[in-house]
Amino acid sequence: LLVGGWAMQFLLFALTASATALFREKEHGIFQRVLSAPVTRGDILWSKFLYGICLGLLQLVILFFAGHVLFGIEIGGHLGLLLIVCVFAAAACTSFGMLIAAVSPTPESARGLSTFVILLMCAVGGAWFPVSFMPEFIQRFSKLTLVYWSMEGFSQVLWSHDTFVELLPTLAYLALITAIVMGISVWRFAKGRIFD
């Protein structure tokens, strides 16, 4: 549980920083050069999204491998399902980073907002300690966070040894969170000035 929690926290910070790099790319005129080619704003955003998933998957695999070496977490027999959960968790975290970049007017505000929201989600989502330790109303709130469902997926694979079918509801929640958050992000980018 501890390894999965720290993995999620590190992943959220890394992928949010990657998404907010959009501000630096705008300052250096990269968007103008890229948009002079036959690509759209949507192409740029979705390429960032796919890059974030790949980066997140790599980071989670490395952290779980370190957990295997240092703490004896058994991942060999569950590697396939663990990779599936990692992909869905990375997608949800990437969409969160894109949302932070979409709603923030400056890189400084993006860093401040992301730090606050990430620490809040990790605290109530079970990344630092089990959700069952918290009051019931917080437990209900925690189910709205991507951290909760990612931790639930890791727990199902590594400790409960659930099958793929048993894992499907958790993956569905992560996919729903990703779709909603990414949809809002794309809409905000279309309305914003980051590409101007």
Which of 27-41, 73-87, 106-120, 158-172 is the least confident region?
A: 27-41
Give the distance, in angstroms, between the CA of residue 151 and the centroid of all CA atoms in the same chain.
12
Give the distance, in angstroms, between the CA of residue 156 and the centroid of all CA atoms in the same chain.
18
CA distances from 102 to 97, 136, 138, 191 (A): 9, 33, 28, 9
For 29, the token pair is 């005129």
pLDDT at 41 over 80: no
CA atoms within 13 A on the CB side of 52: 32
Q: pTM value?
A: 0.90
Question: Stretch 43-58: mean pLDDT, rounded?
Answer: 90
